Amino acid sequence: MSVSTWTEANNKLEREFLFPDFVAAFGFMTQVAILAEKMNHHPEWKNVYNKVVITLYTHDAGNKVTQKDRTLALAIDQLLK
């Protein structure tokens, strides 16, 4: 998987993840889905083959980045270690 970091722009946190193939990307998305459900904070995301793009912001806070987003981003990062 390639390394990138979260970027913050336009009241959103975003990161692109690249994996060896679709199965690895989908497996990662499954892990994130379970984590997001436990945190009751769900990402906006896109998947095309081996690429996953995750965008985080809090709807309840007026569609801006909050601590909930930063906490989820950190937890997602931990999945990759």
Whole-model pTM over 0.85: yes
CA dist., res. 36 & res. 73, Å (int)? 10
What is the SS3 string spanning the chain? CCCCCCEEECCEEEEEEECCCHHHHHHHHHHHHHHHHHHCCCCEEEEECCEEEEEECEHHHCCECCHHHHHHHHHHHHHCC
Name which of 3, 31, 35, 26 is nearest 16 in CA terms. Answer: 3
pLDDT, mean of residues 35-41: 96
| Domains of the chain from N-terminus onward | 7-79 (3.30.1360.20)
Least confidently predicted of 20-24, 25-29, 56-60? 56-60
pLDDT digits (tens, 9 = 90+) for 43-56: 999 999 999 999 99
